[in-house]
Chains A and B, each alone.
Chain A
Amino acid sequence: MVAVIDYGVGNLFSLKSSFEILGSSACVTNDPEVIESSDRIVLPGVGAFGDAAKKLSDSGMARIVCEQAKKGKPILGICLGMQLLFETSYEYGCHSGLALIPGSVRPLKDIIDPALDIPHIGWNSLELKGSCPLFKYMHSGDFVYFVHSFYGAQCEEYVTAYTEYSVPVTAAVARDNIFGTQFHPEKSGNVGLNILKAFCEVKS
């Protein structure tokens, strides 16, 4: 069973539905017992980093996710959920993340061509790096759906995919059992469903 962490943000309906269509049972939950008994964990998230980090921490979910991560359970952070895996975010101030992957979160506007729009919204192609188990059913050049204004920085060692937005932008990261995607696999058609399928096959 996949535990989709509910801490009051994000389109959890689509996420739950995408696992169900793959034949995996998924539970949207903030119950520590359910999370502990799950096979794998998804950390969703949209909106502002500071608010989400506070909700994650206040609800006790931050501590549980970190405990489960240290036990080796596969964890997938999506969009803001990926950014929360890093140590620090500089989105409107300076906020602490879960520090499960070294790195920080910084504004896209500092690195991209100023003529480009922010947020970075739409379907962009992935350039895969290394052999991340999440991408075993896909190829470099496949399109996925992005919507974000901040990006993962100082995390080169853990990047498993980049996307091009005038410069290479962190699209996915991994460190042992911890995975993160800046894009939304649950909104990326069949390519995205295959990524979630691969996540369900990662051994815990």
Chain B
Amino acid sequence: MITKRIIPCLDVRDSRVVKGVNFEGLNDVSSPVELAAYYSENGADELVFYDITASYEQRALFTDILKQVAKTIFIPLTVGGGINDLSDFERVLSCGADKVSVNSGAIRNPQLVYEAAKRYGDQCVVLSADIKRVGGVFHVFAKGGREDTGMEAVEWIRRCVGSGAGEVVVNSIDTDGVKGGFDIGMLSAVLDAVSVPVIASGGAGCAEDFVTLFKTLPRISAGLAASVFHFKQVSIPELKKLLAENAIPARII
């Protein structure tokens, strides 16, 4: 039976994981390589790396890190941040990424999803959408959630899936950082519109929030979070156990 995926997300800047982390048994808590190994050993089903650097030089450092991770970690790796054209796809795919997440790059150039899916396959292209309610309407935001594009989000997602996005990450700006649970209303609207796997992001504050997510929306494929894992508010082995106790299929290692 297909299991629900639990995905920690690592924001990387200047070769370090951003957001303080504190793990016992890790010498260097902000080393992407060590943290990725830790999560993999603890049962993470996939890892997402966001490159939040700005300059070209730093981008090269990021791909070096990606290579180091892919040399030792054998679970799926998704990479996002700074993906603007096909050469960016090539750059990260040749360093061990399996999937590439596009966000602002697709907003600037809507052809990007289509071109990438055609060259690398639908399974390779993940659409990541930062969404916020504006006057009761779901709007897509660009530039890390700073800029309202004015576009209606569900229609945008439907269009990108039609162009070949094989997976969608829905990041609710409304619930992000609040730690009061995932944005069930927003996720439900997206699920109604597409038939590719949808990954929930933004709002996880405790393990029970994942149970509520998968119980309320059985079609959600995965739950993604950063700080609850980094700050050890949720341990992945305990979360997987809790899912199994609630009859939610989970990969327990």
Contact = CB atoms under 8 A, between A and B. Distances in A.
B122 A13 contact: no
A186 B74 contact: yes
A184 B93 CA distance: 16
Contacts of A167: none
A119 B74 contact: no
B98 interface: yes
Interface of B: 1-5, 40, 45, 67, 70-72, 74-77, 93-98, 119-124, 166-167, 195-198, 219, 221-222, 251, 253
Contact of B70 (A17, A47, A120, A189): A17
Interface residues of A, number: 35
A47 B221 contact: no
10 contacts: A11-B97, A13-B94, A46-B121, A117-B196, A123-B5, A123-B251, A147-B166, A148-B123, A189-B75, A190-B253
Interface string A1-42: 000000000010110011011000000000000000000000
Given A21-B72, A118-B195, A145-B76, A124 B96 contact: no
A42 B110 CA distance: 36
Contact of B45 (A17, A122, A186): A122
B69 to A, nearest CB: 10
Interface string A144-170: 010111000000000000001100000
Contact of A48 (B67, B121, B198): B121
Contact of A122 (B72, B94, B221): B221
Contacts of B4: 122
Nearest to A11: B98
A183 to B, nearest CB: 11
Contact of A117 (B45, B76, B77, B221): B221
Nearest to B194: A117
Contacts of B221: 117, 121-122
Contacts of A20: 71
Nearest to A125: B1
B76 A165 contact: no
B197 A121 contact: yes
A183 B190 CA distance: 27
A13 B67 contact: yes
Contact of B98 (A14, A125, A189): A14
Interface in A67-113: none
A188 interface: yes
**Most chain B CB neighbours (cut-off 10 Å) among A46, A115, A193:** A46
A172 to B, nearest CB: 17
B196 A119 contact: yes
Nearest to B126: A121
A13 B196 contact: no
A125 B198 CA distance: 21
Contacts of A118: 195-196
A14 B2 contact: no
Interface string A175-190: 0000000001011111
B5 A122 contact: yes
Interface in A120-150: 120-125, 143, 145, 147-149
Given A117-B195, A119-B122, A119-B166, A187 B75 contact: yes
Nearest to A143: B251
A112 to B, nearest CB: 11
Contacts of B253: 143, 189-190
B43 to A, nearest CB: 9
A17 B119 CA distance: 24
**Most chain B CB neighbours (cut-off 10 Å) among A14, A17, A149:** A14
Nearest to A52: B121
Nearest to B198: A117
A186 B74 CA distance: 6
B249 to A, nearest CB: 9
The 4 A-B residue pairs with the shortest CB-CB distance in the complex, in nearest-first order: A47-B121, A13-B96, A123-B251, A143-B251
A153 B83 CA distance: 37
A14 B74 contact: yes
A46 B93 CA distance: 12
Contacts of A190: 74, 253
